Structure 1
Amino acid sequence: MKKNKEIQNIEEDILDPADIIVTLDLDDNVSVDCEIYTIFEVQDQNYIALVPLQENGERNDEGDVYLYRYFEDENGTPSLENIESDDEFEIVSDRFDELLDEEDFETL
């Protein structure tokens, strides 16, 4: 998983979280536009799953998913934080996989 430094830009003109574009500044000085896949809770902490967009702006369903801790301040301004612990990342990844499995089951 690549790490971000900050949320560079959020375009929030539509209420559906999947329509919000988040621009991540990654460690290697590359910016990546992502779509919010979901925000979910694990052990009283919110996490966000972001899916990188292709150059044409379409979601890359075959690509990576970025997982971060997700916070909002008292004004509702969102921020992300890297998941530093391997144990925490494993727990969050497992929960995200469970959410994907639940979604697949519901579409059957």
Structure 2
Amino acid sequence: MEFSKIATDMNTKIENDEQMTVDIELDDGKIVTCAIIIVLTVNAKDYIVLLPLDKNGQNNDGNVWFYEFIYKGDDKEPELGYIYDDAEYEAVAEAFNLYLDDVEFDELIELPEEDSESL
């Protein structure tokens, strides 16, 4: 899947019907394939949460990577930026933790469908 299509899904949960991935080149030249978890907006900036995968497409340690998601328009590839500021990084981590709490809550509590009548 093309990386630029992520921009259309900002602020929404990326569904796992089709796992979207992106290849990241590290400073040492190593390429790591990452699953895209979600794009979050924190303090009017967009951030992407990536789950690094091993050569078998798995992640066994649960670590995620946060990057600034820089969208420059439909005709240009988005860019990833490092988060250098500790307070900014903590704000993104907290937003991701809240997202995880919401996902867990939704999985634990089966909410009635909108079309069904409640008693």
Fold agreement, TM-score > 0.5: yes
- Cα drift, residue 61 of structure 1: 5.5
Which of structures 1 and 2 has the bigger CA Rg?
Answer: 2
Cα RMSD of the aligned pairs, angstroms, is 2.3
Q: Report if aligned partners of 1:17, 1:38 keep a CA contact under 8 Å in 2.
A: no
| TM-score of the superposed pair, with normalisation by structure 2 | 0.71
Unaligned runs of 5+ in 2: 7-13, 109-119
- Cα drift, residue 67 of structure 1: 0.2
Aligned partner of residue 57 in structure 2, secondary structure: coil
Report how many aligned residue pairs link the two structures: 97
For 2:2, the aligned partner's letter is E
Q: Report if aligned partners of 1:34, 1:50 keep a CA contact under 8 Å in 2.
A: yes
| TM-score of the superposed pair, with normalisation by structure 1 | 0.77
Unaligned runs of 5+ in 1: 1-10
> Identical aligned pairs, as a percentage?
33
Aligned partner of residue 35 in structure 1, secondary structure: strand
Q: Which runs of 4+ in 1 moved over 3 A?
A: 13-18
Deviates more, 1:26-35 or 1:97-106: 26-35
User: Which structure shows the higher strand fraction?
Assistant: 1
State the distance in 1 between where 2:103 and 2:46 align: 19
